[in-house]
Amino acid sequence: MQTNVGATDKRVRTALGAVAGSLSLATLVGAAPLPATAGPVLGIVALAMLGTALTGTCGLYSVLGVDTCSVSPGDRR
């Protein structure tokens, strides 16, 4: 798969992944007043966000034809 996640998108995904991960852990230890099922769901969201930020590739973007990467089409990624 080609890189389709740009620098700003990576920063946003990293921040959202960190927040979701923190909320997930807080929910799992009982420090956040969220339902018990929110912990694992937020954990999965955090892993997905951080994973796509790390790899620079988003499967949903590929399906939808979205590309936030600023590299021009003729250049290598």
Residue 2: the pLDDT is 85
Q: 3-state secondary structure string, the chain? A: CCCCCCHHHHHHHHHHHHHHHHHHHHHHCCCCCCCCCHHHHHHHHHHHHHHHHHHCCCHHHHHHCCCCCCCCCCCCC
Query: Do the domain assignments include residue 60?
Result: yes
Query: Do the domain assignments include residue 40?
Result: yes
Query: Do the domain assignments include residue 77?
Result: no
Number of domains in the chain: 1
**Domain containing 52: what range?**
7-64
Mind listing the pLDDT tens digit for each residue in 7-48? 999 999 999 999 999 999 999 999 989 998 999 999 999 999
Query: Do the domain assignments include residue 51?
Result: yes
